[in-house]
Protein backbone atom coordinates (compact mmCIF):
# COMPACT_ATOMS: atom_id res chain seq x y z
CA UNK A 1 0.00 0.00 0.00
CA UNK A 2 1.30 3.47 -0.94
CA UNK A 3 1.54 5.73 2.10
CA UNK A 4 4.11 8.27 0.93
CA UNK A 5 3.50 11.73 2.32
CA UNK A 6 4.09 14.97 0.48
CA UNK A 7 6.88 17.12 1.90
CA UNK A 8 5.34 20.50 2.79
CA UNK A 9 8.36 22.22 1.25
CA UNK A 10 7.42 20.63 -2.07
CA UNK A 11 4.72 23.27 -2.58
CA UNK A 12 7.38 25.99 -2.81
CA UNK A 13 9.65 24.23 -5.28
CA UNK A 14 9.98 24.53 -9.04
CA UNK A 15 8.18 21.36 -10.12
CA UNK A 16 5.04 22.12 -8.12
CA UNK A 17 4.98 25.75 -9.24
CA UNK A 18 5.39 24.81 -12.89
CA UNK A 19 2.60 22.24 -12.84
CA UNK A 20 0.22 24.75 -11.24
CA UNK A 21 1.20 27.77 -13.36
CA UNK A 22 0.90 25.77 -16.59
CA UNK A 23 -2.55 24.57 -15.49
CA UNK A 24 -1.70 20.95 -16.14
CA UNK A 25 -4.89 20.12 -14.26
CA UNK A 26 -8.08 22.12 -14.58
CA UNK A 27 -8.53 22.21 -10.80
CA UNK A 28 -5.54 23.53 -8.85
CA UNK A 29 -6.43 21.29 -5.92
CA UNK A 30 -5.80 18.18 -8.00
CA UNK A 31 -2.02 18.31 -7.94
CA UNK A 32 -1.93 19.51 -4.34
CA UNK A 33 -3.78 16.29 -3.50
CA UNK A 34 -1.75 14.02 -5.77
CA UNK A 35 -0.03 11.07 -4.11
CA UNK A 36 3.73 10.88 -4.76
CA UNK A 37 4.87 7.38 -5.68
CA UNK A 38 8.24 7.97 -4.02
CA UNK A 39 9.95 10.59 -1.88
CA UNK A 40 9.27 14.03 -3.37
CA UNK A 41 12.96 14.96 -3.13
CA UNK A 42 13.82 12.02 -5.37
CA UNK A 43 11.08 13.08 -7.79
CA UNK A 44 12.46 16.63 -7.87
CA UNK A 45 15.98 15.37 -8.52
CA UNK A 46 14.69 13.29 -11.44
CA UNK A 47 12.75 16.31 -12.73
CA UNK A 48 15.85 18.52 -12.71
CA UNK A 49 17.65 15.87 -14.73
CA UNK A 50 14.83 15.02 -17.15
CA UNK A 51 13.76 18.59 -17.85
CA UNK A 52 17.10 19.26 -19.55
CA UNK A 53 16.46 16.60 -22.18
CA UNK A 54 14.88 17.41 -25.58
CA UNK A 55 11.20 16.59 -25.83
CA UNK A 56 10.57 16.54 -22.11
CA UNK A 57 6.89 15.82 -21.47
CA UNK A 58 5.77 17.36 -18.19
CA UNK A 59 2.41 15.62 -18.11
CA UNK A 60 3.91 12.21 -18.76
CA UNK A 61 6.51 12.83 -16.04
CA UNK A 62 3.82 13.74 -13.51
CA UNK A 63 1.67 10.72 -14.28
CA UNK A 64 4.73 8.49 -13.96
CA UNK A 65 5.60 9.81 -10.50
CA UNK A 66 2.20 10.65 -8.94
CA UNK A 67 -1.14 9.01 -8.42
CA UNK A 68 -3.65 11.65 -9.55
CA UNK A 69 -7.01 11.93 -7.73
CA UNK A 70 -10.11 11.81 -9.90
CA UNK A 71 -12.59 13.36 -7.47
CA UNK A 72 -15.40 11.11 -8.50
CA UNK A 73 -18.51 12.14 -6.58
CA UNK A 74 -19.10 8.51 -5.59
CA UNK A 75 -22.75 9.20 -5.00
CA UNK A 76 -25.22 6.35 -5.16
CA UNK A 77 -27.08 5.68 -8.39
CA UNK A 78 -29.95 8.10 -8.63
CA UNK A 79 -33.45 6.76 -8.37
CA UNK A 80 -35.77 9.72 -8.25
CA UNK A 81 -38.47 7.48 -6.81
CA UNK A 82 -36.43 7.69 -3.61
CA UNK A 83 -37.39 10.55 -1.36
CA UNK A 84 -34.77 13.18 -0.73
CA UNK A 85 -34.53 11.99 2.88
CA UNK A 86 -33.88 8.41 1.80
CA UNK A 87 -31.29 9.65 -0.65
CA UNK A 88 -29.45 11.64 2.04
CA UNK A 89 -29.50 8.80 4.56
CA UNK A 90 -28.11 6.51 1.87
CA UNK A 91 -25.29 8.97 1.22
CA UNK A 92 -23.83 8.89 4.73
CA UNK A 93 -21.99 5.62 4.12
CA UNK A 94 -21.05 6.70 0.59
CA UNK A 95 -19.44 9.88 1.92
CA UNK A 96 -17.73 8.17 4.86
CA UNK A 97 -13.94 7.92 4.61
CA UNK A 98 -11.36 5.97 6.61
CA UNK A 99 -7.80 7.32 6.42
CA UNK A 100 -5.80 6.13 9.41
CA UNK A 101 -2.36 6.86 7.91
CA UNK A 102 -1.02 9.93 6.05
CA UNK A 103 -1.24 9.64 2.26
CA UNK A 104 0.31 12.40 0.17
CA UNK A 105 -1.05 15.65 1.56
CA UNK A 106 -3.84 13.84 3.40
CA UNK A 107 -3.50 13.64 7.19
CA UNK A 108 -4.24 10.41 8.99
CA UNK A 109 -7.16 10.29 11.44
CA UNK A 110 -7.99 7.61 14.00
CA UNK A 111 -11.71 7.36 13.20
CA UNK A 112 -14.01 7.43 10.15
CA UNK A 113 -15.50 10.75 9.06
CA UNK A 114 -17.99 12.13 6.56
CA UNK A 115 -16.37 14.08 3.73
CA UNK A 116 -18.28 16.93 2.06
CA UNK A 117 -18.14 15.31 -1.39
CA UNK A 118 -16.76 15.99 -4.86
CA UNK A 119 -13.24 17.44 -4.77
CA UNK A 120 -13.41 17.58 -0.98
CA UNK A 121 -12.32 14.15 0.20
CA UNK A 122 -10.80 15.29 3.49
CA UNK A 123 -12.56 16.27 6.73
CA UNK A 124 -13.40 19.99 6.86
CA UNK A 125 -13.78 21.95 10.07
CA UNK A 126 -16.96 24.03 10.02
CA UNK A 127 -18.61 21.88 7.34
CA UNK A 128 -18.61 19.00 9.79
CA UNK A 129 -20.85 20.67 12.37
CA UNK A 130 -23.65 21.13 9.85
CA UNK A 131 -23.12 17.60 8.54
CA UNK A 132 -23.48 16.37 12.13
CA UNK A 133 -26.94 17.93 12.36
CA UNK A 134 -28.14 15.47 9.74
CA UNK A 135 -26.20 12.58 11.22
CA UNK A 136 -27.93 13.19 14.55
CA UNK A 137 -31.34 13.16 12.87
CA UNK A 138 -30.36 9.94 11.07
CA UNK A 139 -29.40 8.34 14.39
CA UNK A 140 -25.79 8.06 13.22
CA UNK A 141 -24.47 9.07 16.63
CA UNK A 142 -21.47 6.84 15.97
CA UNK A 143 -20.28 9.12 13.17
CA UNK A 144 -20.97 12.28 15.19
CA UNK A 145 -18.80 10.95 18.00
CA UNK A 146 -16.10 9.68 15.62
CA UNK A 147 -15.80 13.12 14.04
CA UNK A 148 -15.63 14.87 17.40
CA UNK A 149 -12.90 12.42 18.38
CA UNK A 150 -11.02 13.19 15.16
CA UNK A 151 -11.15 16.93 15.85
CA UNK A 152 -10.00 16.30 19.40
CA UNK A 153 -7.11 14.22 18.05
CA UNK A 154 -6.10 17.13 15.80
CA UNK A 155 -6.19 19.57 18.71
CA UNK A 156 -4.00 17.24 20.75
CA UNK A 157 -1.50 16.46 17.97
CA UNK A 158 -1.42 19.50 15.68
CA UNK A 159 -2.30 21.98 18.41
CA UNK A 160 -5.45 23.25 16.70
CA UNK A 161 -8.08 22.21 14.17
CA UNK A 162 -6.83 22.98 10.65
CA UNK A 163 -9.05 24.24 7.86
CA UNK A 164 -9.21 20.61 6.70
CA UNK A 165 -7.11 17.49 6.98
CA UNK A 166 -4.46 18.24 4.34
CA UNK A 167 -0.93 19.25 5.27
CA UNK A 168 -1.20 22.41 3.17
CA UNK A 169 -3.94 23.58 5.56
CA UNK A 170 -1.69 23.40 8.62
CA UNK A 171 -1.13 27.18 8.69
CA UNK A 172 -4.76 28.10 9.36
CA UNK A 173 -7.94 26.95 11.05
CA UNK A 174 -11.55 27.79 10.25
CA UNK A 175 -14.41 29.52 12.05
CA UNK A 176 -14.42 27.66 15.39
CA UNK A 177 -17.41 25.33 15.61
CA UNK A 178 -15.75 22.75 17.88
CA UNK A 179 -17.64 24.05 20.92
CA UNK A 180 -20.92 23.80 18.97
CA UNK A 181 -20.03 20.17 18.18
CA UNK A 182 -19.47 19.51 21.88
CA UNK A 183 -22.83 21.10 22.70
CA UNK A 184 -24.49 18.93 20.05
CA UNK A 185 -22.86 15.81 21.49
CA UNK A 186 -23.82 16.93 24.99
CA UNK A 187 -27.44 17.01 23.88
CA UNK A 188 -27.09 13.47 22.57
CA UNK A 189 -25.04 11.86 25.35
CA UNK A 190 -25.36 13.98 28.49
CA UNK A 191 -23.46 16.43 30.69
CA UNK A 192 -20.39 14.23 31.09
CA UNK A 193 -19.37 15.25 27.58
CA UNK A 194 -18.34 18.65 29.00
CA UNK A 195 -15.85 17.11 31.38
CA UNK A 196 -14.50 14.68 28.82
CA UNK A 197 -13.67 17.33 26.24
CA UNK A 198 -12.71 20.16 28.58
CA UNK A 199 -8.92 19.79 27.98
CA UNK A 200 -9.44 19.98 24.21
CA UNK A 201 -11.74 23.00 24.56
CA UNK A 202 -9.01 24.73 26.56
CA UNK A 203 -6.41 24.03 23.87
CA UNK A 204 -8.74 25.22 21.11
CA UNK A 205 -9.30 28.45 23.03
CA UNK A 206 -5.57 28.89 23.65
CA UNK A 207 -4.97 28.66 19.90
CA UNK A 208 -7.43 31.44 19.09
CA UNK A 209 -6.19 33.66 21.93
CA UNK A 210 -2.47 33.02 21.42
CA UNK A 211 -0.49 36.21 22.10
CA UNK A 212 -3.35 38.09 23.75
CA UNK A 213 -1.47 38.45 27.03
CA UNK A 214 1.29 40.45 25.32
CA UNK A 215 -0.86 42.97 23.47
CA UNK A 216 -0.53 46.63 24.41
CA UNK A 217 -1.50 50.02 22.92
CA UNK A 218 1.63 50.00 20.73
CA UNK A 219 1.71 46.34 19.67
CA UNK A 220 -2.02 45.91 19.54
CA UNK A 221 -2.46 43.02 17.13
CA UNK A 222 -0.79 39.65 16.79
CA UNK A 223 -1.94 36.72 14.69
CA UNK A 224 -5.62 36.14 15.55
CA UNK A 225 -5.99 38.66 18.40
CA UNK A 226 -6.50 42.42 18.36
CA UNK A 227 -6.53 44.76 21.33
CA UNK A 228 -9.23 47.35 20.82
CA UNK A 229 -8.87 50.95 22.01
CA UNK A 230 -10.84 50.22 25.19
CA UNK A 231 -8.54 47.29 26.03
CA UNK A 232 -10.95 44.53 25.00
CA UNK A 233 -9.41 41.60 23.10
CA UNK A 234 -11.25 40.53 19.96
CA UNK A 235 -10.36 38.10 17.17
CA UNK A 236 -9.64 38.18 13.46
CA UNK A 237 -8.86 35.61 10.79
CA UNK A 238 -5.22 34.87 10.01
CA UNK A 239 -2.80 32.48 8.32
CA UNK A 240 0.77 31.85 9.37
CA UNK A 241 1.92 31.86 5.73
CA UNK A 242 2.08 34.85 3.39
CA UNK A 243 2.50 32.91 0.15
CA UNK A 244 0.27 31.53 -2.62
CA UNK A 245 -1.96 28.67 -1.51
CA UNK A 246 -0.90 25.27 -2.89
CA UNK A 247 -4.52 24.42 -3.71
CA UNK A 248 -5.02 27.76 -5.52
CA UNK A 249 -1.50 28.61 -6.61
CA UNK A 250 -2.06 29.99 -10.10
CA UNK A 251 -5.20 31.86 -9.02
CA UNK A 252 -3.28 33.64 -6.26
CA UNK A 253 -0.23 34.44 -8.36
CA UNK A 254 -2.40 35.90 -11.11
CA UNK A 255 -4.11 38.20 -8.62
CA UNK A 256 -0.95 39.26 -6.77
CA UNK A 257 -0.84 43.03 -6.27
CA UNK A 258 2.62 42.90 -4.63
CA UNK A 259 1.02 44.56 -1.64
CA UNK A 260 2.53 43.41 1.64
CA UNK A 261 0.39 40.71 3.20
CA UNK A 262 -1.70 40.14 0.07
CA UNK A 263 -1.43 36.34 0.17
CA UNK A 264 -2.15 36.31 3.89
CA UNK A 265 -5.37 38.25 3.26
CA UNK A 266 -6.34 35.59 0.70
CA UNK A 267 -5.51 32.77 3.08
CA UNK A 268 -7.26 34.44 6.02
CA UNK A 269 -10.43 34.62 3.94
CA UNK A 270 -10.11 30.87 3.54
CA UNK A 271 -9.89 30.55 7.32
CA UNK A 272 -13.21 32.38 7.52
CA UNK A 273 -14.87 29.77 5.30
CA UNK A 274 -16.13 32.63 3.10
CA UNK A 275 -13.65 32.21 0.28
CA UNK A 276 -14.28 34.46 -1.41
CA UNK A 277 -16.66 37.32 -0.72
CA UNK A 278 -16.94 41.07 -1.26
CA UNK A 279 -17.17 41.12 2.52
CA UNK A 280 -13.37 41.12 2.63
CA UNK A 281 -12.75 43.67 -0.16
CA UNK A 282 -12.27 47.43 0.10
CA UNK A 283 -13.71 47.66 -3.42
CA UNK A 284 -16.61 45.22 -3.29
CA UNK A 285 -16.14 44.15 -6.91
CA UNK A 286 -12.35 43.72 -6.84
CA UNK A 287 -10.74 40.76 -5.07
CA UNK A 288 -7.35 42.46 -5.40
CA UNK A 289 -8.44 44.92 -2.70
CA UNK A 290 -8.84 42.12 -0.17
CA UNK A 291 -7.99 43.16 3.42
CA UNK A 292 -9.23 40.25 5.55
CA UNK A 293 -6.73 40.58 8.40
CA UNK A 294 -7.71 44.23 8.94
CA UNK A 295 -11.24 43.16 9.84
CA UNK A 296 -12.80 42.09 13.14
CA UNK A 297 -15.54 39.70 11.93
CA UNK A 298 -18.81 39.50 13.82
CA UNK A 299 -19.34 35.77 13.18
CA UNK A 300 -15.85 34.78 14.34
CA UNK A 301 -16.18 36.68 17.60
CA UNK A 302 -19.59 35.17 18.26
CA UNK A 303 -18.20 31.66 17.79
CA UNK A 304 -15.20 32.40 20.02
CA UNK A 305 -17.76 33.65 22.53
CA UNK A 306 -19.63 30.34 22.24
CA UNK A 307 -16.31 28.59 22.90
CA UNK A 308 -15.83 30.74 26.02
CA UNK A 309 -19.38 30.06 27.21
CA UNK A 310 -18.94 26.33 26.67
CA UNK A 311 -15.70 26.41 28.64
CA UNK A 312 -17.50 28.31 31.39
CA UNK A 313 -20.22 25.66 31.50
CA UNK A 314 -17.57 22.92 31.64
CA UNK A 315 -15.80 24.64 34.56
CA UNK A 316 -19.11 24.89 36.38
CA UNK A 317 -19.73 21.20 35.66
CA UNK A 318 -16.44 20.21 37.35
CA UNK A 319 -16.99 22.86 40.07
CA UNK A 320 -13.86 24.88 39.28
CA UNK A 321 -15.28 28.15 40.56
CA UNK A 322 -12.03 30.11 40.23
CA UNK A 323 -11.73 29.48 36.50
CA UNK A 324 -15.47 29.91 36.03
CA UNK A 325 -15.47 33.31 37.71
CA UNK A 326 -12.48 34.47 35.67
CA UNK A 327 -14.03 33.33 32.41
CA UNK A 328 -17.38 34.89 33.24
CA UNK A 329 -15.68 38.28 33.21
CA UNK A 330 -14.15 37.51 29.81
CA UNK A 331 -17.55 36.45 28.43
CA UNK A 332 -19.17 39.63 29.69
CA UNK A 333 -16.47 41.82 28.12
CA UNK A 334 -16.73 40.09 24.74
CA UNK A 335 -20.50 40.44 24.65
CA UNK A 336 -20.19 44.14 25.43
CA UNK A 337 -17.48 44.56 22.78
CA UNK A 338 -19.48 42.82 20.05
CA UNK A 339 -22.44 45.06 20.78
CA UNK A 340 -20.21 48.14 20.98
CA UNK A 341 -18.00 47.75 17.92
CA UNK A 342 -20.22 45.76 15.57
CA UNK A 343 -23.69 47.18 16.09
CA UNK A 344 -24.79 49.83 13.61
CA UNK A 345 -27.68 51.57 15.34
CA UNK A 346 -28.52 53.78 12.38
CA UNK A 347 -29.07 50.83 10.04
CA UNK A 348 -30.14 48.30 12.64
CA UNK A 349 -27.65 45.54 11.77
CA UNK A 350 -24.40 44.01 12.99
CA UNK A 351 -21.43 44.62 10.71
CA UNK A 352 -17.75 43.70 10.68
CA UNK A 353 -15.32 46.28 12.07
CA UNK A 354 -12.16 47.44 10.28
CA UNK A 355 -9.78 48.12 13.16
CA UNK A 356 -7.23 49.83 10.93
CA UNK A 357 -9.83 52.38 9.77
CA UNK A 358 -11.64 52.35 13.13
CA UNK A 359 -15.07 51.96 11.59
CA UNK A 360 -17.54 49.35 10.41
CA UNK A 361 -17.13 47.96 6.93
CA UNK A 362 -19.72 48.71 4.27
CA UNK A 363 -20.72 45.08 3.79
CA UNK A 364 -24.18 43.81 4.66
CA UNK A 365 -23.88 40.04 5.12
CA UNK A 366 -25.60 37.16 6.85
CA UNK A 367 -22.83 37.28 9.44
CA UNK A 368 -25.11 39.86 11.10
CA UNK A 369 -27.18 36.91 12.35
CA UNK A 370 -24.49 35.32 14.53
CA UNK A 371 -25.18 37.47 17.64
CA UNK A 372 -28.73 36.12 17.44
CA UNK A 373 -27.49 32.58 16.86
CA UNK A 374 -25.49 32.69 20.11
CA UNK A 375 -28.29 34.65 21.83
CA UNK A 376 -26.43 37.80 22.86
CA UNK A 377 -28.49 40.34 20.94
CA UNK A 378 -30.97 42.44 22.88
CA UNK A 379 -34.55 41.75 21.74
CA UNK A 380 -35.05 45.18 20.18
CA UNK A 381 -31.82 44.82 18.18
CA UNK A 382 -32.64 41.26 17.18
CA UNK A 383 -36.02 42.43 15.89
CA UNK A 384 -34.33 45.04 13.68
CA UNK A 385 -31.80 42.51 12.33
CA UNK A 386 -34.50 39.97 11.52
CA UNK A 387 -36.59 42.65 9.84
CA UNK A 388 -33.61 43.67 7.68
CA UNK A 389 -32.88 40.06 6.74
CA UNK A 390 -36.52 39.40 5.91
CA UNK A 391 -36.86 42.50 3.72
CA UNK A 392 -33.42 42.62 2.09
CA UNK A 393 -31.83 39.16 2.11
CA UNK A 394 -34.59 36.55 1.97
CA UNK A 395 -35.14 35.55 -1.62
CA UNK A 396 -37.50 33.09 -3.26
CA UNK A 397 -34.97 30.28 -2.90
CA UNK A 398 -33.50 31.09 0.52
CA UNK A 399 -31.21 33.61 2.18
CA UNK A 400 -28.66 35.26 -0.08
CA UNK A 401 -25.22 35.58 1.49
CA UNK A 402 -24.58 39.29 0.85
CA UNK A 403 -26.25 42.15 -0.99
CA UNK A 404 -23.50 42.39 -3.62
CA UNK A 405 -23.81 40.56 -6.93
CA UNK A 406 -20.34 39.48 -7.98
CA UNK A 407 -18.49 36.52 -9.41
CA UNK A 408 -17.48 35.47 -5.89
CA UNK A 409 -19.26 32.41 -4.57
CA UNK A 410 -19.94 33.86 -1.10
CA UNK A 411 -21.97 36.74 -2.52
CA UNK A 412 -25.45 37.27 -3.91
CA UNK A 413 -27.28 35.55 -5.24
CA UNK A 414 -25.77 32.38 -3.80
CA UNK A 415 -27.19 30.67 -0.76
CA UNK A 416 -25.27 28.26 1.46
CA UNK A 417 -26.65 25.61 3.80
CA UNK A 418 -24.78 26.69 6.95
CA UNK A 419 -26.05 30.26 6.71
CA UNK A 420 -29.62 29.06 6.12
CA UNK A 421 -29.33 27.14 9.39
CA UNK A 422 -27.87 30.15 11.20
CA UNK A 423 -30.75 32.29 9.91
CA UNK A 424 -33.37 29.69 10.76
CA UNK A 425 -32.07 29.18 14.28
CA UNK A 426 -31.58 32.91 14.86
CA UNK A 427 -35.20 33.58 13.99
CA UNK A 428 -36.37 30.79 16.31
CA UNK A 429 -34.12 32.05 19.12
CA UNK A 430 -36.03 35.35 19.08
CA UNK A 431 -39.46 33.82 18.50
CA UNK A 432 -39.86 35.01 14.89
CA UNK A 433 -41.51 31.80 13.76
CA UNK A 434 -42.84 33.38 10.60
CA UNK A 435 -39.35 34.21 9.32
CA UNK A 436 -37.95 30.90 10.52
CA UNK A 437 -40.61 29.05 8.55
CA UNK A 438 -40.04 31.23 5.47
CA UNK A 439 -36.28 30.53 5.52
CA UNK A 440 -36.86 26.84 6.04
CA UNK A 441 -39.50 26.49 3.33
CA UNK A 442 -37.68 28.53 0.70
CA UNK A 443 -34.41 26.62 1.22
CA UNK A 444 -35.97 23.17 1.37
CA UNK A 445 -38.03 23.95 -1.75
CA UNK A 446 -34.81 24.90 -3.55
CA UNK A 447 -33.10 21.65 -2.60
CA UNK A 448 -36.13 19.57 -3.47
CA UNK A 449 -36.49 21.23 -6.87
CA UNK A 450 -32.81 20.67 -7.61
CA UNK A 451 -33.00 17.05 -6.50
CA UNK A 452 -36.07 16.41 -8.63
CA UNK A 453 -34.28 17.77 -11.71
CA UNK A 454 -30.86 16.21 -11.20
CA UNK A 455 -30.90 13.65 -8.41
CA UNK A 456 -28.10 15.63 -6.71
CA UNK A 457 -27.55 17.80 -3.67
CA UNK A 458 -25.02 20.54 -4.19
CA UNK A 459 -22.53 22.59 -2.18
CA UNK A 460 -24.34 25.88 -2.87
CA UNK A 461 -27.40 27.15 -4.75
CA UNK A 462 -28.43 30.42 -6.38
CA UNK A 463 -31.49 31.57 -4.46
CA UNK A 464 -32.85 34.18 -6.86
CA UNK A 465 -35.57 31.91 -8.14
CA UNK A 466 -36.63 28.65 -9.71
CA UNK A 467 -35.80 26.62 -11.74
CA UNK A 468 -32.66 25.90 -9.79
CA UNK A 469 -29.34 26.55 -11.53
CA UNK A 470 -26.62 24.32 -10.13
CA UNK A 471 -23.56 26.46 -10.86
CA UNK A 472 -22.97 30.13 -10.14
CA UNK A 473 -19.54 31.64 -9.69
CA UNK A 474 -16.54 30.75 -7.61
CA UNK A 475 -12.96 29.53 -7.79
CA UNK A 476 -14.06 25.99 -8.72
CA UNK A 477 -17.13 24.20 -10.06
CA UNK A 478 -20.08 23.57 -7.78
CA UNK A 479 -19.64 20.20 -6.06
CA UNK A 480 -22.21 17.54 -5.32
CA UNK A 481 -22.52 15.24 -2.37
CA UNK A 482 -22.89 17.31 -0.21
CA UNK A 483 -22.25 17.04 3.53
CA UNK A 484 -23.57 20.28 4.99
CA UNK A 485 -26.42 20.58 2.50
CA UNK A 486 -27.59 17.11 3.49
CA UNK A 487 -27.20 17.84 7.19
CA UNK A 488 -29.09 21.12 7.18
CA UNK A 489 -31.92 19.68 5.10
CA UNK A 490 -32.52 16.91 7.61
CA UNK A 491 -32.00 19.32 10.51
CA UNK A 492 -34.67 21.65 9.19
CA UNK A 493 -36.99 18.75 8.44
CA UNK A 494 -37.29 17.83 12.11
CA UNK A 495 -36.17 20.86 14.13
CA UNK A 496 -39.45 22.68 14.61
CA UNK A 497 -39.36 22.57 18.39
CA UNK A 498 -36.90 24.11 20.83
CA UNK A 499 -36.39 20.87 22.76
CA UNK A 500 -34.94 19.01 19.79
CA UNK A 501 -31.37 17.92 20.54
CA UNK A 502 -29.98 19.65 17.48
CA UNK A 503 -31.16 23.06 18.66
CA UNK A 504 -28.27 23.33 21.15
CA UNK A 505 -26.11 26.32 20.27
Closest by CA position to 16, among listed 203, 323, 249: 249
Q: What is the pLDDT of residues 335-373, one digit of tens each?
A: 999 999 999 999 999 999 999 999 999 999 999 999 999
Closest by CA position to 113, among listed 103, 196, 100: 100
Contact 417, 485 (CB under 8 A): yes
Decide: residue 218, CB within 10 A, 0-12 exposed, 13-18 middle, 19+ buried: exposed
Q: Which of 44, 239, 459, 480 is catalytic?
A: 459
| Weakly modelled stretches of the chain, pLDDT under 70 | 1-3, 71-81, 465-473, 475, 495-505
CB proximity list for 490: less than 8 A, separation 6 or greater: 85, 88, 133, 134, 137, 138
Q: Which of 271, 275, 284, 308 is catalytic?
A: 275
Tell me whether residue 459 is one of the annotated catalytic residues: yes
Question: Whole-number mean pLDDT of the chain?
Answer: 93
Tell me whether residue 275 is one of the annotated catalytic residues: yes
Which helix or strand (DSSP H or E) is residue 86 part of?
Answer: helix 84-95
- pLDDT score of 471: 55
Q: What is the pLDDT of residues 58-67, one digit of tens each?
A: 999 999 999 9
- pLDDT score of 501: 41
- pLDDT score of 164: 98
Contact 149, 462 (CB under 8 A): no
Contact 488, 421 (CB under 8 A): yes
Q: Please list the residues that pair with 343 across neighbouring strands.
A: 350
Amino acid sequence: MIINTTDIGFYKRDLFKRVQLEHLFEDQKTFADALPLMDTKIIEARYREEVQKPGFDLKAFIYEHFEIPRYQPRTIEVQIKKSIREHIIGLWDVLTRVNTVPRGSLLGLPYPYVAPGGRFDEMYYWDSYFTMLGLAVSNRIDLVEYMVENFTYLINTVGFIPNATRNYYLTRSQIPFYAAMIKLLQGLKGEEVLGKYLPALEKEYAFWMHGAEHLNPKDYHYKRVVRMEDGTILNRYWDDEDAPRPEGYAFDVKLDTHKEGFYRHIRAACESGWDFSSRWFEDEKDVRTICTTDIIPVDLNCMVLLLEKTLLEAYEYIADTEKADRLQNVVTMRIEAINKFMWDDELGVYRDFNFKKKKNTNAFTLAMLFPLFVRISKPDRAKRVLSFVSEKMLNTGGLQTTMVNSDQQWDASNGWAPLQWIGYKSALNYDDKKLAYAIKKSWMDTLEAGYERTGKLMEKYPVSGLPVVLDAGGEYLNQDGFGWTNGVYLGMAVADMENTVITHN
